[in-house]
Amino acid sequence: MDVIAHVRLRDMGPVICYRAHDMTLKNGDTIIVEVDRGTDYGQVATDPVLVEQTDPSVKKIVRLATEKDLRQIEENRQRAKDASRTCARKIGEHKLEMKLVGAEYAFDRSKMLFYFTAEGRVDFRELVKDLAKAFRARIELRQIGVRDEAKMLGGFGPCGRELCCCRFLRDFEPVTIKMAKDQNLSLNPPKISGLCGRLMCCLSYEHKFYKEVSRGLPREGERIDTPEGRGKVSSVNIFKRQAAVLLEDGKMIHLLFPAAAGRPKVLKKEA
């Protein structure tokens, strides 16, 4: 039987679909895979799926990483740290407006990848020539966004947990300010932004839940008819399915909205 698995190339590379034949794999395994020029290493990022037949155009998983492979991968990581310092120095020499985020060696050390952020396009052709001479390898510079930078560098969010992009998010989904409004969050940018300075990723994957539980509830500021008369919604608690409504006569009432369709029930009144 063939196996299909999503694999993250190296430590900072993309997640790509790979196939294997008669190989037992599990999420988290370090493996050696085919690339356009030779082999590279990666990590199984999802639970593999058994299939009867795979598309031959999908690249192969060569083998599980051996002890020798793992030692070479760790040595590559140490070399990449030294390479980062060299690259940062040369960026300064060329006076380029770019910030180096990290570096990686390909498994066979035939290629080096440098990741950087910049406000706009950067002409780094002379830098590439210098790096190729210094490391005697193919050089690839990749410009990434600030969200990718946070994912590579890691850290902890305002919730106190490790960043979602480091722990389990494979791809970045669009996040909009409307999602924060739907979740009744403060629109103060520091409170809804992550370490990357962009809107927090959790706003996106929690949005669907908030939309479901808020179904049938009025929106804050909406004018509605209640058992006590017409009024304006001043606040909404979607988890308790309650709303505070200021009536036209100046009284405040608290309404409970049943999950099933039905008229809201008055919980209490305030003068």
Last residue of a domain, one of 144, 161, 192: 144
pLDDT at 56: 78
Give me the tens of pLDDT residue by residue for the chain, a chain 271 residues long: 788 888 988 888 888 889 888 888 898 899 999 888 788 999 998 888 878 777 778 889 999 999 999 999 999 999 999 999 999 999 999 999 999 999 999 998 889 999 999 988 899 999 999 999 999 889 999 999 888 888 888 888 888 888 888 877 777 888 999 898 888 788 888 889 988 889 998 888 888 888 888 888 888 889 988 888 889 999 888 888 888 999 988 889 888 888 766 677 777 777 6
pLDDT at 271: 63
In a domain, 132, yes or no: yes
In a domain, 20, yes or no: yes
> How many domains does the structure of the chain reveal?
4
In a domain, 116, yes or no: yes
Residue 114: closest CA among 143, 151, 148, 150: 143
Same domain flag for 200 and 248: no
Token pair listed for 105: 């060696």
Last residue of a domain, one of 65, 97, 116: 65
In a domain, 164, yes or no: yes
In a domain, 250, yes or no: yes
Range(s) of the domain holding residue 178: 149-213
In a domain, 207, yes or no: yes
What pLDDT, in 10s, does the model give residues 34-62?
Answer: 888 788 999 998 888 878 777 778 889 99
Residue 227 CB neighbours (<10 A): 10
The CATH code of the domain that includes 119 is: 3.30.300
Helix (H) or strand (E) holding 164: helix 164-167
Per residue, the 3-state secondary structure of 181-242, as one string, reads HHCCCCCCHHHHECCCCCECCHHHHHHHHHHHHCCCCCCCCCEEEECCEEEEEEEEECCCCE
In a domain, 218, yes or no: no
What pLDDT, in 10s, does the model give residues 106-135?
Answer: 998 889 999 999 988 899 999 999 999 999
Same domain flag for 134 and 156: no
In a domain, 29, yes or no: yes
Last residue of a domain, one of 192, 213, 234: 213
